[in-house]
Amino acid sequence: MSGSLQSRVLRGPAATLTGNPFEQPSRGCLAYHDDALVVIEEGIITAFGPHAELKDALPAGSEVTHYPDHLIVPGFIDAHVHYPQMQVIGAYGTQLLEWLETYTFPAEMSFADAGHARRVAHLFLRELLRAGTTTAMVYCTVHSQSVEAFFHEAARFDARMIAGKVLMDRHAPAGLLDTAQRGYDESLALIERWHGRGRALYCVTPRFAPTSTEAQLDAAGALLKTRDGLFLQTHLCENPAEIEWVRELFPARASYLDVYAHAGLVGPRSMFGHGIHLHEGDFCTCHQAGAALAHCPTSNLFLGSGLFRLFEAVDPRRPVMVGLGTDVGGGTSLSQLQTLNEAYKVAAMVGHKLDAVQGFYLATLGGARALGLDGKIGQLAPGMEADLCVLDPRATPFMAFRAGYCASIEEVLFMLMTLGDDRAVRATYVAGRCVYDRDREDDPFRPAIPSEE
């Protein structure tokens, strides 16, 4: 991994998930040390544990960065986000299909300009890091240059990112349409250029069933077979009107999910955005296939799409893997702390309580498992890639006051997920390098590869 220091050590309070709190008692799934060391060599965590136990075995010449009164956690994982929609976040709300026509499609048309794509990718990567997000599954646009711009900027930070060119061959403006064959060819060229290059991973990306013909969905299924380890992302059962449209367009299919299954798109490393209106048979299909869902609460609330049934999805009798997605620009923040705030409320509205350990699981280890990357990211543990976030529970006077009354690490985590936002992120580490420091006096961002500008 480029740009990693030979040996670096972080010291301070630290917490990481060790198990699934939707299947086991939450307290037993969290490892917390009030004075921990995270030892990093060549971008990989080589040791994690109490300072008292590890301090005498530190590598010679280690650089120790101390974060007292902070909290070191794994970097956050965003399972569903649209970087080209940065420019329409916070636009006056409509429901899904009208949102696409009014805001999304016009915004994405501007990515025909490669310079625009580079400018937005530059901002987007920095805003992810400012929010403590170190891995994201990202929708680009139909334009190949939007993917090039994103992966190029991600490579400058040595970030593990997953992204792909959107496939659409119908029901969209002419400037956003490809064809089944052109979409296949352009995607394959991008796969050959970027998949597995550095820390980049490619995701085959049909926007959703209504904007792809059966021929294009079949081509997407064929693309998944061209290389090992490719991902699939699309949207599923977000909005009642959308579901009815799918039923009209694909009358031979048993369900919306069956449209994708028929094309070979439902399997491990398949991430379906939203899944609000799934039925039990769909949950069973996802469980059996190893497919995952992205829970996007700020978007679902903002667009009035509905309330995701998280605890039904993760039912231990046939659990479906779930990650947490910001879904900008329908979503209203790139901060996973703010997203967890809304996830708690959505769960409460359907009769459940999302505790802090469960919330941080969704944003870290659970997201990694949903992506099939839990052997690489999502935990503080030896052998894991050193993607970390340093949180500041006292980031604002109000948070500092409230933190003074927290009697446990669970209370601190819950306070962070209900009051926190990007201001609570003190620093973000990618592959062992501090790429963002809120308190750095000049530019808070330090990419591994200097700007070419």
What was the pLDDT predicted at 5? 47
Q: For helices 180-194 and 214-224, what crossing angle results, to 10°?
A: 20
CA 73/CA 337 separation, integer angstroms: 13
From the CB of residue 90, how many other CB atoms can be counted at a distance below 10 Å?
11
Contacts 24+ apart (CB under 8 A), 283-290: 283/312, 283/313, 283/315, 283/318, 283/320, 284/318, 285/257, 285/261, 286/257, 286/320, 286/321, 287/318, 287/319, 287/320, 289/261, 290/321
CA 11/CA 71 separation, integer angstroms: 10
CA 18/CA 432 separation, integer angstroms: 21
- 88 — phi, psi (to 5°)? -120, 5
* Per-residue tokens: 58: 């530190």
Question: If 0-12 CB within 10 Å is exposed, 13-18 middle and 19+ buried, where does residue 79 land?
Answer: buried
CA 362/CA 347 separation, integer angstroms: 13
Q: Which of 66, 63, 76, 55 minimizes the C-alpha distance to 13?
A: 66
What was the pLDDT predicted at 387? 98
Q: Where is 54: in which H helix or E strand?
A: helix 51-54
Task: Give, for all 453 residues of the chain, the pLDDT tens digit.
Answer: 333 446 899 999 999 999 999 999 999 999 999 999 999 999 999 999 999 999 999 988 888 999 999 999 999 999 999 999 999 999 997 888 898 999 999 999 999 999 999 999 999 999 999 999 999 999 999 999 999 999 999 999 999 999 999 999 999 999 999 999 999 999 999 999 999 999 999 999 999 999 999 999 999 999 999 999 999 999 999 999 999 999 999 999 999 999 999 999 999 999 999 999 999 999 999 999 999 999 999 999 999 999 999 999 999 999 999 999 999 999 999 999 999 999 999 999 999 999 999 999 999 999 999 999 999 999 999 999 999 999 999 999 999 999 999 999 999 999 999 999 999 999 999 999 999 999 998 899 999 887 654
What was the pLDDT predicted at 233? 98
CA 224/CA 294 separation, integer angstroms: 20
Question: If 0-12 CB within 10 Å is exposed, 13-18 middle and 19+ buried, where does residue 93 land?
Answer: middle
The domains located in the chain, with CATH, are 8-74+379-437 (2.30.40.10), 76-370 (3.20.20.140)
pTM of the prediction?
A: 0.97
Q: Per residue in 115-143, is it b (16+ CB within 10 Å) or e — as a string?
A: ebbbebbbebbbbbbbbbbbbbbbbbbbb
CA 262/CA 357 separation, integer angstroms: 37
What was the pLDDT predicted at 99? 86
What was the pLDDT predicted at 451? 65
Q: Which of 396, 394, 395, 374 minimizes the C-alpha distance to 385?
A: 374
Using alpha carbons only, give the angle 100, 106, 108 rounded to the nearest 5 degrees. Answer: 90
* Secondary structure of residue 151 in the 3-state scheme: helix
Q: Which of 91, 202, 89 minimizes the C-alpha distance to 140?
A: 202
Q: Is the peptide bond before 323 cis (omega within 30 degrees of 0)?
A: no
Residue 147 DSSP label: H
CA 185/CA 201 separation, integer angstroms: 18
Q: Which of 206, 51, 231, 238 minimizes the C-alpha distance to 137?
A: 231
